[in-house]
Structure 1
């Protein structure tokens, strides 16, 4: 063993202290801006494998149907997908711009009647879907990161500049 190897090995051991948290134990933080309400939320929604009840209540309110004020319990696994996408893209401080979270049956019906591509039994109705983008990143990067995760549905809406993500069956659509 030469001196350079020994010093490099010693430095690498010192660089990661024994008390450092494992990645799975680190707090999971997400930041959002709702494009329809201009509200912002930064929340530590999970620490280790424990979801934070108060944080999830804040998320439920934030992702409410902005047209009616109705809210539901959002699927925490949807937050995990968002966190994993953010991590995969390498920007742990990134903020998601939210176009749509929960949709009440009334809102979903109205959208089905006035625009295309809205599913009758949308997972937005059950708190299992979200439409997002990043302010300074092409949406195709979010789509690609989501597809690589292999979890849930991924819809890419290039013209409208957003990505639909959900915790349903693995599938994808859009260009």
Structure 2
């Protein structure tokens, strides 16, 4: 039995060490695997995440959506807020609902994004510059206005309320966080 264990261990060690003797680097391996060499394995198929789920393509609330119901931003990897020297995010209970960015130039309006009805919506600031964003911007898109009212001060993280207005109605999301940097 002891001989069998010794032989098994030797075989396992030999199998594990074979990759070191090939001289193949990690990049070589990746190139070989990615190039399709080494077999007739089928190419996996599937669906890519829809681009609209990660980028804002409109500046209007989608038809049939409730503009007062902001949703979790989620994946915003392809959202373009333009040139910026700083950004702020409003979140409530660790759910990010608004992202705003602006350059440090009062002549340039900040840009923001919210998700309504499953769509990412582009917003434009009513006042220009980074100071307006840090101080609590009012942002608009066709069919909705969003206003952040942070607590006084210049801290990077402050409590804040978010007001969402549309169709002569207003909703207040109180006690959120306004994080800037």
Greater strand share, structure number: 2
Greater helix share, structure number: 1
Structure 1 length-normalised TM: 0.29
Determine which structure has more spread, i.e. the larger CA radius of gyration.
2
Structure 2 length-normalised TM: 0.28
